[in-house]
Amino acid sequence: MSPRLPRVTGKEMIKFLETKGFSVIRIVGSHYRLRHPKGVYVTVPVHGKRILGIGLTLRILKDANISLEEYTEHFEK
């Protein structure tokens, strides 16, 4: 059975992505656009303290080319 997917807020997701080399390039409303030096772009919604949905979390990780193992290991610390 696969490990449980950590549930995080938009701000926590942005902090995680920043540890992977992404940086915020623009903010429009509550949506943060991040870019990796390799040219990968990701958009993360930040709606206060609301937790990101599982589907959205998986989509962000897929767009960012980050494995589930990498993601879960980071939040198990």
Q: What is the pLDDT of residues 15-39, one digit of tens each?
A: 999 999 999 999 999 999 999 999 9
How far is it, in rounded angstroms, from Cα 35 to Cα 23?
6
Token couple for 48: 């206060």
pTM given for the model:
0.92
Q: What is the pLDDT of residues 30-77, one digit of tens each?
A: 999 999 999 999 999 999 999 999 999 999 999 999 999 999 999 887
| Sign of the torsion formed by the C-alpha atoms of 54, 7, 14 and 65 | negative
Superfamily of domain 10-76: Hypothetical protein. (3.30.920.30)
- What are the Cα distances from residue 36, in Å, to 13, 20, 24, 72? 14, 8, 9, 20
- The domain locations on the chain are 10-76
Q: Give the count of alpha carbons within 13 A of 1, CB side only.
A: 3
